[in-house]
Amino acid sequence: MTPILSDLAALSIGYLLGSIPFGLLLTRLAGTTDLRSIGSGNIGATNVLRTGRKDLAAATLLLDGLKGVAAVLIGASLSPEGGMIAGLAAFIGHIAPVWLHFKGGKGVATFLGVLFGLSWPAALIFCVVWLSAAALSRYSSLGALTASVAAPVALFLLGHRAEALFVAAMAAIVFYRHRENIARLRAGTETRIGQKA
């Protein structure tokens, strides 16, 4: 397979993996409220938590992360740049899944999964920052935003400069996807963890 075909394969596989809407699938199987009709309307773990099902939220978080890990590992087996290409594609796939008319989640769990695939120490730093900020503030969005800034910095300090630039681009997308959350945080109207919207 030529390098171009390898990269295209990594892109395609990554996107298809990322576009699997685990949050929606799990809540439908469990017979809960349609995720798209509550809270933020997103398909990620934070909105699953608003259904009152912590088990489904945890499963969604895990599966959304694992699809990012899987994309990076499969992509890396196809070409030197394939891991980053497939990881980015999985991240975009979660945010804009073709099956849901390109209306998906905010990508944080898949971001974390991609980070684990690229550098597990940086991913652990992300987790510590995310959990600490979320626990102190009780805002999931603030934890995600803080951790997404910490991730490229951690990669850079760990010597992964190419990956740091790549993850910085993903972090910029996370901020864009959280623009409404940022506005609510500034206004003091953002929904806290465990609070039903």
Q: How far is the C-alpha of 89 from the C-alpha of 66, rounded, in Å?
A: 14
Domain boundaries, position 172? 3-187
Percent of the chain with pLDDT over 70: 97
Domain contains 194: no
Domain contains 14: yes
Domain contains 171: yes
Q: In this predicted structure, what is the pLDDT of residue 196? A: 54
Q: Write the DSSP string, 10-44.
A: HHHHHHHHHT--HHHHHHHHHT---GGGSTT---S
Domain contains 193: no
Look at residue 195 and tell me whether its pLDDT is greater than 70. Answer: no
Q: How far is the C-alpha of 3 from the C-alpha of 195, rounded, in Å?
A: 49
Domain contains 52: yes
If you search the block for the tokens 């030529």, which residue do you land on?
2
Domain contains 139: yes
When pLDDT is cut at 50, 70 and 90, the band that residue 136 belongs to is very high
Number of domains in the chain: 1
What integer is the mean pLDDT of 154-178? 95
What integer is the mean pLDDT of 170-195? 89
Q: In this predicted structure, what is the pLDDT of residue 193? A: 72
Q: In this predicted structure, what is the pLDDT of residue 31? A: 81
65 is written with which tokens?
A: 């992360």
Q: In this predicted structure, what is the pLDDT of residue 194? A: 60
Q: In this predicted structure, what is the pLDDT of residue 54? A: 86
Look at residue 143 and tell me whether its pLDDT is greater than 60. Answer: yes
- The tens digit of pLDDT for each residue in 56-97 reads 889 999 999 999 999 999 999 999 899 999 999 999 999 999
Q: What is the pTM of this model?
A: 0.90
Domain contains 192: no
Q: In this predicted structure, what is the pLDDT of residue 118? A: 95
Domain contains 79: yes
Q: How far is the C-alpha of 140 from the C-alpha of 56, rounded, in Å?
A: 17
Q: Write the DSSP string, 127-142.
A: HHHHHHHHHHH--HHH
- The tens digit of pLDDT for each residue in 4-26 reads 899 999 999 999 999 999 988 98
